[in-house]
Amino acid sequence: NAGVTQTPKFQVLKTGQSMTLQCAQDMNHEYMSWYRQDPGMGLRLIHYSVGAGITDQGEVPNGYNVSRSTTEDFPLRLLSAAPSQTSVYFCASSYFADQPQHFGDGTRLSIL
């Protein structure tokens, strides 16, 4: 039982490059979210989805896009990487909205 799988685990980008962070879950969860975690700050919500074909913005959505074409996958796209996007990114999922989330182990992203 893999749970929530995030790839890659580490990535270094140059300013202006684009990339996609992958997130997949095998628990048939409807609710999926992307967070970023920065030193000295709590987890901040970037985008979330309540089911296939439905996405919405969180607290810090600028510079990121998401899509949800299947229940299992919820990729996060950085359109034009900036140094301010250096962070650890976590994907999370849950079956019901008001239920503890299962988190992946994160993608550590550095923008030079």
Partner 1 sequence: KNQVEQSPQSLIILEGKNCTLQCNYTVSPFSNLRWYKQDTGRGPVSLTIMTFSENTKSNGRYTATLDADTKQSSLHITASQLSDSASYICVVSDSGGGADGLTFGKGTHLIIQP
Residues 60, 72, 73, 103: which binds partner 1 (CB under 8 A)?
103
43 touching partner 1, by CB under 8 A: yes
4 touching partner 1, by CB under 8 A: yes
Q: Which range touches partner 1 (CB under 8 A), out of 12-20, 61-69, 74-82, 103-111? A: 103-111
Helix/strand/coil (H/E/C) assignment for every residue in 33-100: EEEEECCCCCCEEEEEEEECCEEEECCCCCCEEECCCCCCECCEEECCCCHHHCEEEEEEEECCCCCC
Which residues would be at the binding site for partner 1 (CB under 8 A)? 4, 31, 33, 40-45, 48, 50, 56, 58, 90, 92, 96-106
